[in-house]
Amino acid sequence: MIIDEQADFRSLLMHHVTTNWPDAIISAYDPVAAGHLPDEFSGAGNDLILLGSRHGDRDGVDVLRRFQSRENFPPIVYFGTEDDEKEAHALRPDAHFIRDYINHDSLVVGLSDVLLARQRVASTKSLFTGDMRTGIHPLIKGYRFMRKLGSTEHSGVYLAERESTHLQVVLKVLRQMPGGSNSIGAFDRFLQEYETIAAMDHPNIVRIYDLGVGDDHAHIAMEYLDGGALRVKIENGIPERAAVQYLRQIASALSAVHAKGVLHRDLKPGNIMLRKDGSVALIDFGLAKTAKLESEITDKGEIFGTPYYMSPEQGHGNSVDERSDIYSLGVIFYEMLTGQKPFKADTAMGIIYLHGNAPIPLLPPRFAAYQALLNMMLAKAPDDRLQSAAEVEEWL
């Protein structure tokens, strides 16, 4: 989470982070536009807090001091000024930089050190201290471990086999105890993701088989998608017919998601997987949000997602609806056809600016038949876009 009143500085930090960690999930918070964070704010669910020094009428060092006084608060990386350097250094944040002199390499090294230190602490409390041969906690019975697929700070992802049916599944296992005060946010998001996906019954949304919650663990068993990630397909080149088929299937999935009153908000090739039969499935609903549900922190001043796929309104922290997901889908369609992202810049702020101001790119002549559709998906103003994912399907 990035907290600072200056939009350019938030975008700069976002660019540095996503350059090194392209799959990072970032929320950017403006304490002036959105108001100072309340005393109850615990930072739960965040791996790092990147805290700038500009907070309107509040002193940055004072905000740092307030956050440090809160129990189980995430690691804080402070970006101060030369004037407050001595005072901030005395508070010993997890890392400290001067905001006007940020070097990308030193920043990445600093953030990596903080993350590794946190990982070492978390590993002493990890659930994965039982059967080291399997790597799965003994309480998760009925599954045979096959291999590790990946991990985050809060969860491990494993390929496993359900012993009763020999079905291969993906096990997403929450690392920390759901009752722990420092994991409440992570546990709530874990359950929210399960509830969101479990409510969907659609061939292009990953299937959920099981939720298990114990005194010291939680896990989701979901479908194993063995056809690889759409991101890899794009890198290798996608034939025109396949790109259109994928677009139709993703649009159909979005129709189902939106029909449940849910916005995806982080649609990108990394969140779309394929089965061996060529069908696609949305897999990650970690940023999904019920459209009419008020968030704990107001949407004003927040930015979620990945800049390359953000709609203009999302990139500027404005309210979003289904049409924002349609814009992201248009970016993916362009990338599937051409192998290139429609807008590139040296900074996240530059990418966000281009989404809002640059002309919609022209497809190569061989794809001219899809230009009208692309124009309707990538329109700058939501009112000028296709108004629903169902309209994408109808157009095709």
Residues with a catalytic annotation lie at: 266
d(CA 365, CA 53): 49
Residue with token string 């291999």? 147
Task: Report phi then psi at 373, rounded to 5.
Answer: -60, -45
Residue with token string 């990982």? 119
Q: Is the dihedral of CA 16, 86, 71, 295 positive or negative?
A: negative
d(CA 85, CA 66): 17
Between the CA of residue 285 and those of 92, 132, 216, 263, 270, what are the distances in Å?
Answer: 36, 30, 24, 9, 12
d(CA 79, CA 107): 11
Q: What crossing angle do the helices spanning 240-259 and 322-338 adopt, rounded to 10°?
A: 170
Between the CA of residue 287 and those of 11, 128, 284, what are the distances in Å?
Answer: 19, 26, 8
How many Cα atoms within 13 Å fall on the side-chain side of residue 108? 10
d(CA 263, CA 34): 21
SS3 label, residue 180: coil
Beta bridge partners of 170: 159, 222
Q: How far apart are the first and last CA of the chain?
A: 39
- Read off the amino acid at residue 87: E
SS3 of the chain: helix, strand, coil, percent, to 5: 40, 20, 40
Query: And the tokens for 3?
Result: 């907290």
Query: And the tokens for 132?
Result: 């080291």
Strands 302-303, 28-29: pairing kind: antiparallel
Helix (H) or strand (E) holding 314, with range, is helix 312-315
Residue with token string 């794809």? 367
